[in-house]
Structure formats: structure tokens, C-alpha cells
């Protein structure tokens, strides 16, 4: 897999490909992972995939041109079945248009296995599962990175902005840097294999669209210097496998001070995580999920338990997940 994509021109990238697959009756079941975007200091430019949770799509080729969504589970009725309004079908339609196969008939089932509005890249996981499913059905063996522009369209529809720090790691797996948006330039980063991630999702709603609106548009030079020092420190720590450097670089003076207000007892949760052995702690994506890096699974589990206990004391329900960084990205589930 190439690491880098420069100036993707989706039309010219896809015109030569006219999928050989997509025969009526073909079907595929795909899983795509949740992601932690921003990674504290890298607003809109850093993200990584986790092993769980994730969303699943079952896609079948039908004999009636056009896309239908026959079933969505796990969403409490919040997501639209209308294919013109659902991010999965819209991004799949963009892909089909780009390869000249708008003639095909598709039926989609979406199985949400993670909370919506959680800060874990819920819409990205669904969109990437859908795109990986159509890529598989069309026997399109090109690098998955070519699906990124379509996934970003889904993200734009879901939250009003086409950022890539959830969709890129969901699609490519691993730890990803969006070096540039214009032109799009995406770099997969190495990471220490023994880095564990403890994720806690407090059951409060923080829509990404709103969490983006409260961020300051202008920043001062002193804060900018702090922030880019930290981003460079984090990326260096990933390359050098230096977990201490990773930990001390994960500080955010730009976004976290504002968004932390949307998260119940954020600073107390940080104190609990750090005093129980976390390497670092912060908001996952736009929240309300929070995450900590640790050096082992046991510490990650202990931190999720302590944070869950704390939230229970505040009468807030929560879900917890413990994972290493998922280098595989989306995968076909054998049927």
C-alpha cells in the first residue's frame, strides 16, 4: 500500500476503471473500525483506528438499478433509510458515478455497533464500511486510499465539514497524518506496538457539527508555537517509539480548553486516568468520548473501570473499550 496520495483527481483516477464485478446476487459483509481523531494536539490532522467498536455493512447486488437501504439496526431510528440522505449510500453513489457504474442495483443493510455522536468516528466507520463493500463487490483491487475522497464527502454530509482524520484511519488502519488537505496528502505513521488505548464514552450527546462551531477561529502565536511543538513531538515520539515523548506531547492549548466544557467532569477524569498510570489523556475527536494511552492492557482496563465508576457516581452511563491500534482497517467478514 502506498502511504501517500497527492492531488487526487477523482475523475481521472477512476475513469479507466470499469468494475468487472457487481453481478446480480453478489453480496459482501464488511466491518470498519471506530477511530480516535485529533489525538489531542492534532486537530483535524491526526487520527488512529481501534479494534473495537466498529460498524458493519451488508451489501447485495440487485437487478433493479439504484441504491436501497433495507435495514438499519443499532441507531434507535436516528439514521435515514432514504438513500439520498444517508452518508453510506451517498458516498457509495459518488464512487459508482466516478467509475461509470451508476446502472448497478444495490441493497444496503447498516448495522451500527457503536453509539452515534460519540466522538469515535461513528459516521466514518459506516461510510468506510460501505465504500469497502462496494470496492470489494466491484473487484476494485486498487489501493483503498483512492476511496478517501468519497469517504470525505460522507463526512461533509454528516457534520458539515469534510475532515479526514476519522475516515482516513478507518479506511487505511493504523495511525494517520493528514499532512495537507489541498492538495490531499495523507501519511501513515508508525507507532509503538505496545501502545494501548482506553476509551470511555460517557452517554451524553455532543454532535460534531456543534462541537466545531464553538472553536475559536483565530489563535495567537504563543499558542500556535506550543501546539506545533507538541504535534512535532508526538510524531517524533511515534517514529522513535518513545512513549514518554508521546505522552508529554499530547497537550492541546487550542481546542480542548473549549470542548472540555461539553464533557462531564473532564479534568477530574484526566486526574483519575493520569494517577492510574495513563501516558496521556484527552478528548476523542469532538467528544464526548475520552481516551488514554497506556503501556499495557491491564492499565488500560483499570483506567476504564475507574472512569466508568466515576461517571456512574455522576449518574452518567458509559461504554468502555480497550484496544491496541488497529493496523488492518476495514475487513470482509466471512459469511
Determine the angle formed by the axes of helices 148-159 and 122-137, rounding to 10 degrees.
140
Q: What is the spatial distance between Cα 246 and Cα 240, in angstroms, rounded to a whole number?
A: 9
* 38 near ligand HSE, rule: CB under 6 A: yes
- Contacting ligand HSE within 206-235 (CB under 6 A): 208, 211-212
Among 260, 286, 289, 299, binds ligand HSE (CB under 6 A): 286
Q: Is 297 a catalytic residue?
A: no
Q: How far is the CB of 165 from ligand HSE (least distance, A)?
A: 5
Q: Is 153 in the site for ligand HSE (CB under 6 A)?
A: no
Q: In 10 A of CB 179, how many CB atoms?
A: 13
Residue 99 or 178: which CB sits closer to ligand HSE? 178
Among 17, 21, 44, 66, binds ligand HSE (CB under 6 A): 44
Nearer to ligand HSE, 79 or 211 (CB): 211
Alpha-carbon distance values, 296 to 281, 303, 324 (Å)? 15, 11, 9
Cβ–Cβ < 8 Å for 214, 286: no
Annotation marks residue 56 as catalytic: no
Report the SS3 class of residue 164: coil
Stretch that binds ligand HSE, among 86-94, 141-149, 161-169, 290-298 (CB under 6 A): 161-169
Q: Record the cell numbers describing residue 242, joined without a space.
A: 518513545
Our CB check for ligand HSE shows the closer of 44 and 109 to be 44
- Taking the least distance from each CB to ligand HSE, the nearer of 45 and 273 is 45
What is the β-pairing status of strands 331-332 and 46-62?
unpaired
Provide the 10 A C-beta neighbour count for residue 275.
10
Q: Which one-letter DSSP state was computed for residue 148?
A: H
Point out the catalytic residue in the list 208, 294, 299, 304.
208
Q: Taking a C-beta distance cutoff of 8 angstroms, is the pair 130, 147 a contact?
A: no
Which residue, 113 or 295, has its beta carbon nearer to ligand HSE?
Answer: 113
Q: How far is the CB of 285 from ligand HSE (least distance, A)?
A: 4
Of 14-22, 204-212, 240-248, 313-321, the window that binds ligand HSE (rule: CB under 6 A) is 204-212
Contact 55, 75 (CB under 8 A): no
DSSP string over 277-288: T-SEEEE-TTSS
Burial class from Cβ neighbours inside 10 Å (0-12, 13-18, 19+) for residue 37 reads buried
Q: Which is nearer to ligand HSE, 35 or 86 (CB)?
A: 35
Q: Which of 56, 155, 256, 299 is catalytic?
A: 155
CA 134 to chain centre: 19
Question: CA dihedral in degrees (121, 126, 128, 131; nearest 10)?
Answer: -160
> With contacts defined by CB under 6 A, how many residues of the chain interact with ligand HSE?
12
Q: Which of 101, 163, 188, 270 binds ligand HSE (CB under 6 A)?
A: 163
256 counts as binding ligand HSE under rule CB under 6 A: no
Q: Give the shortest CB-30-to-ligand HSE separation in angstroms.
A: 21
* One of 37, 176, 272, 311 touching ligand HSE (CB under 6 A): 37
Using CB under 6 A as the binding rule, whether residue 33 contacts ligand HSE is answered as no
Pick the binder of ligand HSE from 86, 126, 127, 166 (CB under 6 A).
166
39: which 3 cell numbers?
Answer: 489525538
- Which are the catalytic amino acids? 155, 208
Binding site for ligand HSE (CB under 6 A): 37-38, 43-44, 163, 165-166, 208, 211-212, 285-286
Amino acid at each position: 500500500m502506498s502511504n501517500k496520495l497527492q492531488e487526487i483527481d477523482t475523475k481521472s483516477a477512476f475513469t479507466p476503471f470499469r468494475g468487472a464485478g457487481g453481478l446480480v446476487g453478489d453480496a459482501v459483509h464488511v466491518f470498519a473500525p471506530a477511530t480516535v481523531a485529533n489525538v489531542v494536539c492534532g486537530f483535524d490532522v491526526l487520527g488512529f483506528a481501534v479494534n473495537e467498536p466498529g460498524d458493519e455493512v451488508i451489501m447485495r447486488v440487485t437487478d433493479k438499478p439504484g441504491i436501497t437501504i433495507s435495514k438499519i439496526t443499532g441507531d434507535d431510528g436516528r439514521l435515514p433509510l432514504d438513500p439520498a440522505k444517508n452518508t453510506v449510500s451517498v458516498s457509495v453513489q459518488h464512487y459508482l458515478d466516478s467509475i461509470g457504474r451508476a446502472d448497478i442495483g444495490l441493497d444496503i443493510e447498516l448495522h451500527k455497533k457503536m453509539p452515534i455522536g460519540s466522538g469515535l468516528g461513528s459516521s466514518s466507520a459506516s461510510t468506510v464500511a460501505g465504500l469497502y463493500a462496494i470496492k470489494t463487490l466491484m473487484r476494485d483491487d486498487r489501493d483503498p486510499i483512492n476511496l478517501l475522497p468519497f469517504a470525505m464527502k460522507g463526512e461533509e454530509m454528516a457534520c458539515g465539514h469534510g475532515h479526514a482524520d476519522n475516515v482516513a484511519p478507518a479506511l487505511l488502519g493504523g495511525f494517520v497524518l493528514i499532512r495537507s488537505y489541498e492538495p490531499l496528502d495523507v501519511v501513515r505513521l508508525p507507532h509503538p506496538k505496545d501502545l494501548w488505548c482506553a476509551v470511555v464514552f460517557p452517554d451524553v450527546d455532543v454532535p460534531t457539527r456543534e462541537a466545531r462551531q464553538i472553536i475559536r477561529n483565530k489563535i495567537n502565536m504563543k499558542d500556535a508555537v506550543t501546539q506545533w511543538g507538541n504535534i512535532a513531538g508526538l510524531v517524533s515520539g511515534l517514529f522513535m517509539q518513545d512513549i514518554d515523548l508521546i505522552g508529554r506531547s499530547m497537550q492541546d492549548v487550542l481546542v480542548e480548553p473549549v470542548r472540555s466544557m461539553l464533557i462531564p467532569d473532564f479534568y477530574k477524569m484526566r486526574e483519575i486516568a493520569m494517577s492510574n498510570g495513563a501516558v496521556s489523556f484527552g478528548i476523542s475527536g469532538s467528544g464526548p468520548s475520552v481516551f488514554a494511552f497506556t503501556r499495557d492492557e491491564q492499565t488500560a482496563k483499570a483506567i476504564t473501570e475507574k472512569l466508568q465508576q466515576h461517571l456512574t457516581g455522576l449518574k452518567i452511563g458509559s461504554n468502555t473499550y480497550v484496544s491496541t491500534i488497529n493496523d488492518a482497517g476495514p475487513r470482509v467478514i466471512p459469511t
